[in-house]
Structure 1
């Protein structure tokens, strides 16, 4: 098998708006794919470190985490940690990332710091990069390192307005820094079929973006919100819950799209 075929598919999970289920989707989709047998790496570049907390890694156990990838103080193999999920590994985030724009903003190839750190060493089948909210240097690095962008989008009034700015940023990255960048898809999150506004927003998003929107939508579910406080994905917290089953369905659809992409190629 050639080196090109061994290269992992890298997915940036991004939305400049906070509170849309971005980190929850990164954790639980990564977990669902790992459960299916894929070797998955989750790279947390959000200074809040919520993906790391959600996978049970306390701040004191994170060492220099993904900060080491940006600073060059450590290599990927030195930073990868096992999680409670078989086949799912993590590079945790640390609070030192908060100053990334100032600290690394004048570096040569500053937009490629993450890409240069990931590609030579990564052994996973799929890599998810949990980007911070906002469109600063960290998110830009995530987009430049990625093959595709997965956009969690809350089914609420300002959803379409917020996503337009992200799409403009993705287009700019494609033009100047990463011409191969694709849209992996849009995932509707926190949907509520009992809420007319939620249903209308979902219909508007599907009407606007068409096939880019995953058929699977993630419902509002108390088990999803409880799971991070226990340091596990919802699939480990309550496998039978509506939230866990939705993420399993999303993973199946994700893999179906991957197979279709290979056939088309």
Structure 2
């Protein structure tokens, strides 16, 4: 069993922006040839066939996590990407449910004024305390805003449109980038992991989330234009590390909306792996209409359609992050 805080050794967190720009910018994507690694098997003389995963690397299996003997303090992970529609909220919902399914105590923070995370988990957002109230009044006990979800072991602090006014209210606050960190510090001991669903911007709310976090998970749509914003996001994470939160790490990049049938998806994933190497998770999330269906039902896909490949993929994401040491 892993010791809390132990992490698998991996490449340096700081990736060269030049490397990222080379991957996301120069040259037309149509001109990139498809390597033979995109096939599902490779043959080496004298060796058995080695099954490959969608990332083109040898396919890995992640063991069933062992139960925790104790709970807390939480490791805080921001799900962040300034581009909208890449799967941040979907990943927060389903990763949280998957980790709860493995016996982890999970708190999800809806940090987007659209309140999609709250809606996706079927919790009320009006006439109840929200994350906005906690940000504006640091003296309030965060437990007043915590709601149970339909998933055992998964709680949420909801958000609504009021959160859109937070940046205006916080702009004159002393140490405004650290307000969320002070809020979460009060409940950290009660959970094993806290997942923050960030809004699609790099404004003061997202900087608050990064300042409060131990790690960042970047959901990245397998689409060419999604690549171009990664350099700016990595630059922002580096600035937060230098100025506000030296402990923040890049926990991984999760490829989402992957369609193995299209050359475009395969090329984008290949570029991401070339740029970030082991930081790209082996697990890949495919496209499916089951995600919006589950959102309408107000439950994670792991409950809505537990045998669906997408549900199994998120269970594997949870196992992979535990295996990497990003989650206890």
Q: In which range does the TM-score fall when normalised by the shorter chain?
A: over 0.9
Number of positions where the alignment pairs a residue of Structure 1 with one of Structure 2: 257
Q: Distance in 2 between matches of 1:246 and 1:221?
A: 12
| Matches of 1:90 and 1:35, distance apart in 2 | 16
Q: Report the counterpart of residue 185 of structure 2 in structure 1.
A: 119
Aligned counterpart, 1:166:
233
Cross-structure match for 1:30: 96
Q: Which moved more, 1:209-218 or 1:220-229?
A: 220-229
Structure 1 position 57, deviation (Å): 1.1
Contact 1:69–1:113 at 8 Å: present in 2 too? no
Q: Is residue 165 of structure 2 the alignment partner of residue 99 of structure 1? A: yes
Task: List aligned pairs for 1:194-205, cutoff 5 A.
Answer: 194-205=261-272
Deviation at 1:224, TM superposition (A): 1.6
Q: C-alpha deviations, 1:186-224, integer Å up to 9, x for none?
A: 000000000100010001001100000000000001112
Match of 2:175 in 1: 109
Q: Spell out the pairing of 1:56-67 with structure 2 (5 A cutoff).
A: 56-60=122-126, 63-67=128-132
- CA separation in 2, counterparts of 1:54 and 1:121? 23
Instruction: Find the residue that maps to 1:158 and give its secondary structure.
Output: helix
TM-score (ref. length: structure 2): 0.76
Tell me how far apart the structure 2 counterparts of residues 217 and 115 of structure 1 sit (CA, whole Å).
Answer: 30
- Tell me, in whole angstroms, the C-alpha distance in 1 between the residues paired with 2:163 and 2:237: 22
Q: 1:139-218 residue pairs with structure 2 within 5 A?
A: 139-218=206-285
Give me the whole-angstrom Cα distance separating, in 1, the residues matched to 2:97 and 2:319.
Answer: 12
| CA–CA separation in structure 1 for the residues paired with 2:125 and 2:134 | 17
What residue is the counterpart of 1:249 in the other structure?
316
Where has structure 1 moved over 6 Å in runs of 4 or more? none
**C-alpha contact 2:134 2:183 (8 A) present in aligned 1:** yes
175, 189, 195: which one aligns with 1:128: 195
Q: Could you tell me which residue of structure 2 aligns to residue 220 of structure 1?
A: 287
CA contact (8 A) 1:64 1:94 kept: no
**In the alignment, is the contact (CA less than 8 A) between 1:11 and 1:127 conserved in 2?**
yes
The offset of 1:141, in angstroms, is 0.5
Structure 1 residues 13-52: Cα deviation after superposition (integer angstroms, max 9, x where no partner):
1000000001100110010000110000001110001000
- Structure 1 residues not aligned, in runs of 5+: none
Mapped to 2, the partners of 1:137 and 1:203 lie a distance apart of 33
Comparing both structures, which one devotes a greater share of its residues to helix? 1
Distance 1:252 1:8 in 2: 17
Uncovered stretches (5+) of structure 2, i.e. residues with no partner = 6-70
Asked which structure has the greater CA Rg, the reply is: 2
Q: CA deviation at 1:158?
A: 1.2
- Equivalent in the alignment of 1:75: 141
Task: Judge which range, 173-182 or 52-61, deviates more.
Answer: 52-61
